[in-house]
Structure 1
Amino acid sequence: MWTNYRQELLLQQRSDNGQWGLPGGLMELGESIEDTARREVWEETGLRLGALELFGIYSNYTIRKVR
C-alpha cells in the first residue's frame, strides 16, 4: 500500500502481539474488495484512500480440525 508520491509503505503495529503489518480486516456482506480496503484503512488509521489498484489478496488463517 503506497501512501503518497514518495512510495512510503503504510504499516501499523498490532496491539495484541506488537508485530507490524498492513492494515486489514474482514470483508462485509455485499462489499467490494476496494470498499473493504477503504473501510479498514479508515477504521484502523483514520486515513482516506485515493485511487486503488489491486495487486494481491493475502490471508493468514490457521486451519484446525473440528472435533
Structure 2
Amino acid sequence: MARVTTRVAPGVVRTAKCNWRSTNPYGQNTNTNSLTTGKLTDMGGCSAYHSTRVNLSKA
C-alpha cells in the first residue's frame, strides 16, 4: 500500500527504514531489502541498493 504526499519529490518512493522484517511498522515479513537486487555493482563489487527501481500503479 502506498500513500501519495508532497513530502517527497515526484518520481521518488520513500520507505520506512527497518533492517529486520519483524520490526517493519507497515507489515510483517517485508522490508526495503526485499526490493533490492542480489547483483553486485560494477565498480567495487558492492551491494547495489542505492538505485532500486519500482513501479507503482493504482489498484
Both structures adopt the same fold (TM-score exceeding 0.5): no
> Which structure has more strand as a fraction of its residues?
1
* Bigger fraction of residues in helix: 1
